[in-house]
């Protein structure tokens, strides 16, 4: 008979322990150990547990390289994030907050592929078939090649895959699927790991592009073991604010493309629509002639995006002033304030500093440093910048402005949206043809940039 064994698994790294521990020895995470039970069957030897294959080691030179044909959808933003469409046999994980629009995006994608003649199987473990039909009616996503099934049993799902033989498979969501032979509850570490491994074998073996929807924790990470992200080929995060209508699709892992691309969508009554000009969207509500407001040109992958930075500097009554940022790393803000105090003589030790990226966008490249410094100085002096200026550049600890990449794309985007001047690093002006319809000001130090922007 099978013997039931109890063990504890870390939900972050998968570390196993025979007893509960408050702190995981593997990843040092607190309160991450989850109890699991498994059935242990005694075997007569080690050979019975080995899987023998006929494959032999082959020299990498003798392996024929073949470019996988990609399957394009009619959603250009999704194709951009994936690196040019879906790769047959790939396993993709999509995570996001509840109600952000994951199911809506995947149902629209399924319909787009079904219209092209591909067979699509949509497995829903959280909604009934009639509920999925209601969403499809609202999105006008009805096609005879789109098959829908409400099932959470992995064995039943595998039978449905054998019957339909789909080209594209959606599992919504992986936390609801369970393997009957595993005694743990659905959504546990063992179930998620086992089911994901099973879908990986199906995807690779049958050449089916498979998308798994993953729940996220309150910290924003995908629920389940961390190894879930290692097993898949691509990890996409669907981000957005509940109070805004647009959504960002960001790739944090992609074996078939870049991880720097983002896709921008807007949520409307008929579903998600693409935003072809995100700069115009982010600048639509920008006030003109207000102190503490500056436009920065940031690169998101290969796409330049113009975003408004806002800063508020106000006197504080507390011994320790507050430093708060939204959309920019807090440590980066502290570095910029230190440079302004040490290299430019600004007294900010009795001032609260708040920095915000308007629209809820997250900027993580150092090219936004110079615009943040201009914003803070403008708010401190209560002196507005010119409304048609664009500022970007990296700031060094000695107060110098360092070069940034893809300056021609940033300037071209600013020129297209009607801006008159760009304040850029002097070192980035070499090696490309400057446009004549926009004024380009090169600066070497933060002091020069502040004089050009606030002079």
100 assigned ligand-binding residue: yes
Report pTM: 0.76
Stretch 381-403: mean pLDDT, rounded?
A: 94
Is the residue at 66 inside a domain?
no
Q: Are residues 175 and 265 in the same domain?
A: yes
Q: Is residue 172 located within the same domain as residue 31?
A: no
pLDDT at position 359 is 78
124, 251: one domain: yes
The answer on pLDDT for 302 being more than 50 is yes
pLDDT at residue 289 in the model: 86
Is 23 annotated as belonging to a binding site? no
Residues 319 and 437 in one domain: yes
Query: In this structure, is residue 115 part of a structural domain?
Result: yes
> Do 217 and 86 sit in the same domain of this protein?
yes
Q: Above 50 in pLDDT, residue 42?
A: no
* DSSP of 374-408: HHHHHHHHT-PPPTTEEE--EE-TTSBEE--S-HH
Same domain, 371 and 439: yes
Dist. CA 190–CA 187, nearest whole Å: 8
Of 256, 276, 296, the residue at which a domain comes to its end is 276
The verdict on 118 and 209 lying in the same domain is yes
Domain of residue 171: give its range.
76-276
Q: Is residue 63 part of a domain?
A: no
Any domain includes 138:
yes
Q: Are residues 419 and 386 in the same domain?
A: yes
Q: What is the pLDDT of residue 50?
A: 39
Residue at 71 is within a domain: no
The last residue of one of the domains, among 229, 244, 276, is: 276
pLDDT digits over 48-94, tens only?
A: 433 445 678 888 888 877 666 889 998 999 998 998 899 999 999 99
Residue 97, annotated ligand binder? Answer: yes
Q: What is the pLDDT of residues 83-111, one digit of tens each?
A: 889 999 999 999 988 888 899 999 999 99
Q: Is residue 96 marked as binding?
A: yes
Count structural domains, the chain.
Answer: 3
Structural domain includes residue 62: no
Q: Is 103 labelled as part of a ligand binding site?
A: yes
Give the H/E segment covering residue 416. Answer: helix 407-416
Q: Is 342 annotated as a binding residue?
A: no
Q: Are residues 24 and 154 part of one domain?
A: no
End of a domain among 227, 251, 276?
276
Is 206 marked within a binding site? no
Residue 425 lies in a domain: yes
Q: Are 399 and 339 in contact (CB under 8 A)?
A: yes
**Using CA atoms, how far apart are residues 351 and 324, in angstroms rounded to an integer?**
12
> Does 272 share its domain with 292?
no
Tell me the per-residue pLDDT of 157-195, one tens digit each, with 9 for 90 and over: 999 999 999 999 999 989 999 999 887 788 888 888 889
Residue carrying structure tokens 């099978």: 2
Give the per-residue pLDDT at 191. 87
What integer pLDDT is reported at residue 204 of this predicted model?
A: 92
166 is in an annotated binding site: no
Which CATH number goes with the domain that contains 247?
3.40.50.300
Asked if 157 and 224 sit in the same domain, the reply is: yes
Quick one: 211 and 315 in the same domain? no
Residue 57 in domain: no
Of 408, 405, 410, 406, the C-alpha closest to 391 is 410
């Amino acid at each position: 008979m099978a013997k039931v064994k109890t063990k504890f698994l870390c939900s972050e790294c998968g570390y196993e322990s025979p007893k509960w521990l408050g702190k995981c020895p593997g990843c040092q995470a607190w309160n991450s150990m989850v109890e699991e039970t498994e059935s242990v069957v005694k075997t007569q030897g080690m050979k019975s547990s080995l899987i023998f294959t006929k494959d032999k080691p082959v020299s990498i030179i003798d392996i024929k390289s073949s470019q996988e044909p990609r399957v394009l959808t009619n959603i250009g933003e999704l194709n951009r994030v994936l690196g040019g469409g879906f790769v047959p046999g790939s396993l993709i994980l999509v995570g996001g907050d509840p109600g952000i629009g994951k199911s809506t995006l995947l149902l629209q994608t399924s319909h787009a592929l079904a219209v092209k003649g591909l067979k699509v199987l949509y497995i829903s473990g959280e909604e009934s078939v009639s509920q999925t039909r209601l969403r499809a009616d609202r999105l006008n996503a009805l096609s005879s090649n789109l098959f829908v099934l409400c099932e959470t049993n992995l064995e039943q799902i595998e039978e449905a895959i054998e019957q339909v033989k789909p080209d594209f498979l959606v599992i919504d969501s992986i936390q609801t699927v369970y393997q009957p032979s595993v005694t743990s509850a659905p959504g546990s570490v063992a179930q998620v790991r086992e089911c994901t491994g099973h879908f990986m074998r199906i995807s690779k073996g049958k050449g089916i592009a498979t998308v798994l929807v993953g729940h996220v924790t309150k910290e924003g990470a995908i629920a389940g073991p961390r190894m879930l992200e290692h097993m898949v080929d691509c990890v996409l995060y669907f981000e957005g604010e509940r109070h805004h209508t647009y959504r960002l699709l960001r790739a944090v892992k992609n074996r078939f493309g870049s991880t720097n691309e983002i896709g921008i969508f807007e949520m409307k009554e008929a579903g998600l629509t693409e935003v072809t000009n995100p700069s115009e969207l982010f600048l639509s509500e920008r006030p003109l002639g207000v102190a503490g407001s500056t436009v920065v040109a940031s690169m998101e992958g290969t796409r330049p995006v113009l975003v408004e930075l806002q800063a508020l500097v106000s006197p504080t009554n507390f011994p320790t002033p507050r430093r708060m940022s939204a959309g920019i790393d807090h440590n980066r803000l502290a570095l910029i304030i230190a440079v302004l105090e040490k290299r430019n003589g600004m007294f900010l030790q009795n001032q609260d500093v708040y920095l915000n990226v308007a629209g809820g966008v997250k900027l993580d490249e150092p090219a936004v440093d110079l615009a943040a410094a201009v914003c803070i100085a403008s708010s401190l002096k209560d002196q507005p910048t010119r409304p048609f200026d664009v500022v970007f550049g990296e700031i060094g600890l000695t107060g110098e402005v360092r070069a940034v990449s893809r300056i021609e794309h940033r300037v071209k985007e600013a020129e297209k949206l009607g801006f008159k001047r760009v304040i850029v690093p002097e070192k980035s002006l070499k090696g490309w043809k400057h446009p004549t319809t926009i004024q380009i000001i090169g600066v070497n130090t933060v002091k020069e940039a502040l004089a050009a922007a606030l002079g």
